[in-house]
Amino acid sequence: MLIAWLGASLEGRTVLEATRNDAAQRAALDAAAGKTRRLEIDVLATRRTLELHFGPVVGGAVLTARDVTASKRMEAARRDFVANASHELRTPVTAISGAAETLLGGAMDDKERGRQFVEIIARHADRLSHLTRSLLDLSRIESGEWRVDLQPLDAKECAAVAIDLERQAAERRSMVLKQEVPADTWVLADRRALEQVLINLVDNAVKHTPTGGTVTVTSQVEPGGVVLAVLDTGPGIERHHLTRIFERFYRVDPGRAREAGGAGLGLAIVRHLVEAQGGTIGVDSGSGGTRFWVRLPRHSIVTQPSPW
Chain positions contacting ligand ADP, by CB under 6 A: 204-205, 208, 232, 234, 237, 245, 250-253, 257, 262-268, 290
Q: Whose Cβ is closer to ligand ADP: residue 271's or residue 299's?
A: 271
Q: How far is the CB of 83 from ligand ADP (least distance, A)?
A: 17
Which CB, 195 or 232, lies closer to ligand ADP?
Answer: 232
What is the nearest approach in angstroms of ligand ADP to the Cβ of residue 282? 13
Measured CA to CA, the distance from residue 47 to residue 68 in angstroms comes to 11
Which residue type sits at 16?
A: L
CA gap 71, 79 in Å, rounded: 12
Cβ closest to ligand ADP, residue 10 vs residue 257: 257
CA distance 166 to 218: 16
The answer to whether residues 292 and 162 touch, using CB atoms and an 8 Å cutoff, is no
Q: Least separation, in Å, of the C-beta of 199 and ligand ADP? A: 11
Minimum Å distance from CB 248 to ligand ADP?
8
Nearer to ligand ADP, 187 or 205 (CB): 205
Half-sphere exposure at residue 185, Cβ-oriented, CA atoms within 13 angstroms: 23
**For ligand ADP, the closer CB: 31 or 268:** 268
Q: Which is nearer to ligand ADP, 291 or 295 (CB)?
A: 291
For ligand ADP, the nearest residue by Cβ is: 262
Work out how close the CB of 182 gets to ligand ADP at its nearest, in angstroms, rounded to a whole number: 23
User: How does 76-103 read in b/e, with b if 16+ C-beta sit within 10 Å?
Assistant: eeeeebeebbeebbebbeebbeebbebb
HSE (CB half, 13 Å, CA atoms) of 130?
Answer: 17
SS3 content of the chain, % helix, strand, coil (to 5): 45, 25, 25
- The least distance separating ligand ADP from the CB of residue 220, rounded to whole angstroms, comes to 19
